[in-house]
Amino acid sequence: MSLQSLIQVSGKTALIVPESNLELSYSQLNNIVYHLQSIFTNPISPFSDKGSQKQLRIATFLPNGLELIASFLAITTAGNVITPLNPKYTRSEFAGYLSDLETDAVIVPRYSHLKPDSEVVSAARATPTKPFVIEIWYDTARSLLQYEIFHAQTLASMYNSVIDKSSLPSEEAGHHMPGVAGNSDIAMILFTSGTTGKAKKVPLTHFNLTSSMMNIIKTYKLRNRDRNYVIMPLFHIHGLQVLLASLASQGSVVVPNHFSASMFYPHLREWNFTWYSAVPTIHIILLNRRLPKELKGQLRFIRSCSSSLPPAVFSELESSFGCPVVEAYGMTEASHQVTSNNIPFHGKTSRKAGTVGIPQGTVEVIIINEHEAILNKCQVGQVAISGPNVTSGYLQNELANKESFFNFQGKRFFKTGDLGMFDNEGRLVLKGRIKEIINKGGEKISPVEIDSVVSSHEKVKECVSFGYPDKKYGENIGCGVVCKKGTSLTETELKAWLQDRLASFKLPQKIYIVQELPKSPTGKMNRRLMSQVFGLEAKV
């Protein structure tokens, strides 16, 4: 399946952008996407001859919203490759990614060419492939996204779509979004976080993406009357796939240009969305704001993914919102979803806090030891996955592919780098990243387990446990803690409380009570950097 084959054209509402006060139907979105495809199909566009030679690689530097969504759909359905990048990157980061991608063009907001020294434009001008700079903006008069293409070096205008008649699909175009992309065509290249060395490039085909989209639709029984509030960034696989799954199920999406805790409840009241998916950090932030009584029970479910959700937060979410919370497990290499708990009354295996559920749809999951042999239930090992949603391998990185992929019973499996086990009912329980496991004097300790206990304290808002160098034990345990608003807690008090709840060798040696914990743009905390954050690296 290709992306265009899953998105039907109709008069039903597809997309709502609160900041622009836009509400677009699938037909209107289709017109916008078709017009943007003329970047590659218009005979006088600078891309008209390049597109026939290869798949073009296009990077975007856009916030969440219509511009990014339409760019994604136009680029991929036209048979080209998109890499959405975080607009907050520095110039050196932009330059590195653009060069590594061998980018043909970058898509930026309007008037970016007037700022030649900005991070994005200056990085593009310094890139060896000399990518074109494409500015896009919404034309309210024509209800389309217009674009202007600029020369990479001189920033001289080469083509402006405003001067031409709008490109619109014919009435005979059919009931699906037009496009020429094939199932095996690469649709997107994403970078891994790169916490260890250079970031790896992950190619995802149309079939990878659509397989995962269908798994998400089936897992949560998504319907055309569902409305999804998309608050995860669309330069991340989590945000992209919950958006695309909603569109493929003919539901609608509300997409603010950024997450705002103060606007969440007003948007819930105004737009009546039925579900949202987010990282635990966002759930915790929302819990700090009291839900208006009249909105309790309005959501059909809440989905949590991308990092571990403390059981205490799970319970508080369900109590506050009056709806089930379902935890899931996903990653870039799997086109997002791998496992998920079932929503109530669907599936034989009931959901359980502290687990990420069962393999869903076409995904296969096994637990292996260091010799790639399968382990039994309740035995902890590395999580390995297989399925049509899983990437075929990293680009231009033979060493990483050799280390990460192996064949088992005629299938290609990917080693996730996560430790986990299946419980007796087949649910996956994650124990943390292999590289994050704390080795204290030979005792292997899961930081996720410590987080679960610490976060259950009534005054703890969020926490992160981590290992740090120790002369005596090799590694010891540290923990950063943020208290709930209006409460206070000391290191001594928390250590005393933990003594009856954790074995002595699992007790954090150092506890830091702080105002906030450093996070990635997607709300994740990097445990392996925490010892540096708290100044522990230099002490040993």
Q: Residues 65-93: what's their mean pLDDT?
A: 95
Residue position matching structure tokens 């434009």: 121
- Look at residues 221, 234, 207, 216 and name the one whose alpha carbon lies nearest to residue 389: 207
Q: Residues 175-186: what's their mean pLDDT?
A: 89
Please give the Cα distance from 5 to 176 (Å, whole number). 6
Query: Where does 65-178 show beta strands of DSSP type E?
Result: 81-84, 105-109, 132-139, 144-150, 157-160
pLDDT tens digits, 6-42: 999 999 999 999 999 999 999 999 999 999 999 998 8
pLDDT at 314 over 60: yes
Band the pLDDT of 202: cuts 50, 70, 90.
Answer: very high
Q: Residues 299-315: what's their mean pLDDT?
A: 92
Report all structural domains of the chain as residue ranges with CATH numbers, in order of start.
20-201 (3.40.50.12780), 259-432 (3.40.50.12780), 437-539 (3.30.300.30)
Band the pLDDT of 443: cuts 50, 70, 90.
Answer: confident
In this prediction, residue 172 carries a pLDDT of: 54
Of 455 and 524, the one with more pLDDT = 455
In this prediction, residue 342 carries a pLDDT of: 96
Residue type, 521: P
pLDDT tens digits, 146-168: 999 999 889 999 999 998 877 77
- 529 by Cβ neighbours in 10 Å (0-12 / 13-18 / 19+) ranks as middle
Please give the Cα distance from 228 to 314 (Å, whole number). 20
Q: Residues 423-438: what's their mean pLDDT?
A: 92
Residue type, 207: F
State what percent of residues in the chain have pLDDT above 90: 75
Please give the Cα distance from 254 to 528 (Å, whole number). 35
Sign of CA pseudo-dihedral 219, 313, 456, 446:
positive
Of 311 and 296, the one with more pLDDT = 296
Q: Residues 475-491: what's their mean pLDDT?
A: 94
pLDDT at 275 over 70: yes
pLDDT tens digits, 319-367: 999 999 999 999 999 999 999 999 998 888 899 999 999 999 999 999 9
In this prediction, residue 402 carries a pLDDT of: 96
Write down the mean pLDDT value for the chain.
Answer: 92
Q: Residues 202-229: what's their mean pLDDT?
A: 98
Alpha-carbon distances, residue 123 vs 46, 131, 160, 463 (angstroms): 21, 10, 23, 37
Name the strand (E) or helix (H) holding 3.
helix 3-6
Full DSSP string of 181-237: --TTSEEEEEE---SSSSPPEEEEEHHHHHHHHHHHHHHTT--TT-EEE--S-TTSH
pLDDT at 521 over 80: no
- HSE-up (13 A, CA, CB side) for residue 296: 12
- 237 by Cβ neighbours in 10 Å (0-12 / 13-18 / 19+) ranks as buried
In this prediction, residue 528 carries a pLDDT of: 76
Tokens of 245: 């799954």
β-sheet bridge partners, residue 447: none
Residue type, 376: N
H helices of 42-129, where? 66-77, 91-101, 119-126
167: left (phi over 0), alpha (psi -120 to 50) or beta: beta
pLDDT tens digits, 279-299: 998 999 999 898 999 999 999
Band the pLDDT of 50: cuts 50, 70, 90.
Answer: low
In this prediction, residue 77 carries a pLDDT of: 96
Residue 350 CB contacts under 8 Å (≥ 6 apart), including other chains: 342, 344
End-to-end Cα distance, the chain: 54
Q: Is the distance from CB of 191 to CB of 397 less than 8 angstroms?
A: no
Please give the Cα distance from 251 to 228 (Å, whole number). 8
